[in-house]
Amino acid sequence: MNISVTALHRFCTDALLNAGVDPADAKTTADVLVTTDTWGTFTHGTKALRAYIRRVRCNGLKKCGTPRIVKEGPAFALVDGDSSIAMVSSVFAMRTAIDKARTAGIAFSGLRNNCHYGAAGYYATMAIPENMIGFSMANDIPSVNAPGAKGSVMGSNPFAFAAPAGSEFPVMLDMATSTVAGGKVFAAATLGKPIPPGWLLDAEANPTRDATLFSHAASLTALGGYKGFCIAFMIEVLSAVLTGSAISREVLSWTFSEPSLPTGHGAAFMAINIESFLPIANFKNRMDHLIAEIHSAPKTGAETLFAPGEIEFRHREKALRDGIDLPDDVVMSLRALAEESGLKFPPQ
Amino acid sequence: MNISVTALHRFCTDALLNAGVDPADAKTTADVLVTTDTWGTFTHGTKALRAYIRRVRCNGLKKCGTPRIVKEGPAFALVDGDSSIAMVSSVFAMRTAIDKARTAGIAFSGLRNNCHYGAAGYYATMAIPENMIGFSMANDIPSVNAPGAKGSVMGSNPFAFAAPAGSEFPVMLDMATSTVAGGKVFAAATLGKPIPPGWLLDAEANPTRDATLFSHAASLTALGGYKGFCIAFMIEVLSAVLTGSAISREVLSWTFSEPSLPTGHGAAFMAINIESFLPIANFKNRMDHLIAEIHSAPKTGAETLFAPGEIEFRHREKALRDGIDLPDDVVMSLRALAEESGLKFPPQ
């Protein structure tokens, strides 16, 4: 289904308002989720809104929470999310990092009492218009295997990085530390599609292509094996151990666990002020130079070698112009949400 | 060959002094390289000393350079390495980040006019005794393919992370963003061993197991494909674009390029002061909890599921007790260095 960015944003905002969410928070949440859809990252966009709102209605997420700084210094902050919708707490925490980085050069913002925060990339990209480099990461319930283990050992702990460029698109890396994000496996299961080899291991750690086994009887493979496991471990340390959040198996599932309970997710955000190091125009020229080098590399057949995030930013340009082509699993989820909210989807 | 840590350290120091290197810098360099060997990371330890000293003798690296801060603020510094031996500049830059993080909470130190800095992990682990979390990363000449490209597109740009624990070993992640570091392929070529499938692509981007093709006619594969390429790109931005260092193809090879020229490598270091966020004892308990969870995970057959860096720290314990078992390629390199330096290896 094709829908305009404005119409999708309005629907999401209305659904949130209908659940009693504070209007400013509803806008922030819709901003994050709709932007994610414009990138074509449909596994982490508006599809998830139904589950978030379910937790809001059951009080696992507060309708009008107040994320606040509980500890801070020149270049750091520890933020308590107050079990607000994770988009609200995460935007607050990233904004805090950006504000502090302006004078300190870099700043780190740890966040506890968070929930599933959607696409890591959104928060990292908040740094771009500030002429900063942005980072974001979060933990989640174990769903990923480690080589040598049977079952899930770490979360798919996502990581994102974003930086501005000059005449080229900005860059963004937004990745799960599993081979693919769990959302891709869920989407395949919903749509009845087989998954490629290499994504999933069954309960005995044998390869499987049966997406329906996930996550109760299968684990995602770690990105590149042991290294991906180690990166996920690092993210667990930064987003959970350091921030006083739930660690690994202590985290509750944002989709399956009792919706009246906070999930306890942690997250971490970082911003680097580019002008602390060199004039922004100089940095942007240097970025364009690096990106041009990627573009001009000899290719095996592919027409373009894309810089990180370039595909997403191209999708966004098209989405803003022509609307978003929502996949069926997203439409199904939004229709169900509309029904539960007394709204129409697509909105009239 | 088995050699004691003290004897290996003395030999490295003597070889550096023989080349005219400042005594304090000789000690620092030997500290880094010998520690790396104690971890069993022989590709990045004393084996490389011969090539570093060659550049010192030819003035591509300064005998007595003076790394200095050229720009700084509450939580950042830009360091010019002055083409000193990279271990010297990198230790200086990491120390700077640690000092600033103590009051700021986090600090970032960018380094330009550096050279090949050996094992990224060494600098990250400097944070451990300071009750901090450490990071290090660096760029290098392109040697890694990106999916869709023919030939090398990015450096194997290493990344390291380290954090203290309580009764468990500290943790360390030290990885190339290629499937394996180029040093492993060079070592296989020297020892005449075949390499496993998946490590290397020939000039047409077809898989090859011929280690001798690297690096003139083959490229390393990127860790996990496109994601590894994107992580390498991020490291290029942080260590080179932001620091004013040589970018990608502008970097010279520390082994093959004219040894009278500086290579122009960049690097970046970061430290997070744990006590800014929570009491150190609390953090260490939480780390032990996470590590214990890894250890107790069900296994497919492996006796132990190791936390990141645990294998290296176990190796180090053994090396300090029983000496280091140097592989043949390292012995060959140290013997050649001894000959060039008028020294004996092993030292008498």
From chain A, the residues in CB contact with B229 under 8 A are 308
Provide the pLDDT for residue A348.
81
**pLDDT surpasses 90 at A191:** no
Q: How confident is the model at residue B301 (pLDDT cuts 50, 70, 90)?
A: confident
Predicted confidence at residue A57, as pLDDT, reads: 97
Once rounded to an integer, what is the mean pLDDT over residues A296-313? 94
Does the distance separating the beta carbons of A76 and B276 come in below 8 Å? yes
- Considering only the beta carbons, identify the residue of B71, B149, B308 that sits closest to A297: B149
What is the CATH code of the structural domain delimited by A64-178+225-308? Answer: 3.30.1370.60
B348 confidence band (pLDDT: 50, 70, 90): confident
CATH class of A1-57+323-348: mainly alpha
Q: Residue B180, CB half-sphere, CA atoms under 13 Å: how many? A: 18
CB contact under 8 A, A228 and B231: no
Contacts of B246 in chain A (CB under 8 A): none
CB contact under 8 Å between A277 and B228, yes or no, is no
Would the CB atoms of B103 and A73 count as touching at under 8 Å?
yes
pLDDT, one tens digit per residue, over B251-299 is 999 999 999 999 999 999 999 999 999 999 999 999 999 999 999 999 9
Confidence of residue A324 (pLDDT cuts 50, 70, 90): very high
Token pair for residue B46?
């004393």
Q: What is the longest distance spanned by two Cα atoms in chain A?
A: 54
Q: Specify the CATH architecture of the domain A179-221.
A: 2-Layer Sandwich (3.30)
Rounded mean pLDDT of chain A?
97
How far from chain centre, in Å, is Cα B302? 28
Contact B141, B251 (CB under 8 A): yes
Domains B1-57+323-348 and B179-221 equal at CATH topology level: no
Dihedral sign from CA coordinates of A307, A309, A315, A321: negative
> Are the C-beta atoms of A282 and A165 separated by less than 8 Å?
no
What is residue A196's predicted lDDT score, i.e. its pLDDT? 94
Which residues in chain B have Cβ-Cβ distances shorter than 8 Å to A276? Answer: 71, 73, 76
Q: How far is CA A53 from CA A20, A23, A47, A99, A263, in A?
A: 10, 14, 11, 30, 14
| Helix extents (H) in chain A | 5-18, 23-38, 49-57, 86-104, 120-125, 182-191, 226-236, 280-295, 310-322, 328-341
> Mean pLDDT across the stretch B325-337?
97
What is the separation, in whole angstroms, between the first and last Cα of chain A? Answer: 14
- What's the pLDDT tens digit per position in A6-53? 999 999 999 999 999 999 999 999 999 999 999 999 999 999 999 999
Per DSSP, the three-state class of B192 is coil
Share of chain A above pLDDT 70, in %: 100
pLDDT at residue B303, rounded to an integer: 83
- Mean pLDDT in residue range B37-64: 97
Q: Summarize the confidence of residues A318-347 as an average pLDDT.
A: 97
Q: Identify the pLDDT of residue B64.
A: 92
- Exposure class string for B136-159: b at 16+ Cβ within 10 A, else e: bbbbbbbbbbbbbbbbbbbbbbbb
pLDDT digits (tens, 9 = 90+) for B303-312: 889 999 999 9
Q: Positive or negative CA dihedral for A6, A9, A11, A14?
A: negative
- Tell whether the model's pLDDT for residue A302 goes beyond 90: no
pLDDT of residue A218: 97
pLDDT band, very low/low/confident/very high, at A301 (cuts 50, 70, 90): confident
- CA torsion through residues B258, B260, B266, B270, sign: positive
Pairing of strands A132-138, A159-163: antiparallel
Domain limits, chain B: 1-57+323-348, 63-178+226-308, 179-221
Q: Across the interface, do B308 and A151 touch by the CB < 8 Å criterion?
A: no
Enumerate the residues of chain A whose CB falls inside 8 A of the CB of residue B248: 290, 293
Check pLDDT > 90 for residue B97: yes
**8 Å CB contact between A172 and A188:** no
Identify which of A156, A140, A241, A132 has the alpha carbon closest to the alpha carbon of residue B272. Answer: A241
Mean pLDDT (chain B) is 97
pLDDT digits (tens, 9 = 90+) for B110-150: 999 999 999 999 999 999 999 999 999 999 999 999 999 99
Q: What angle do CA A147, A153, A156 make, to 5 degrees?
A: 95
The domain over range B63-178+226-308 is classified in CATH as 3.10.110.10? no
Q: Are A196 and A63 in contact (CB under 8 A)?
A: no
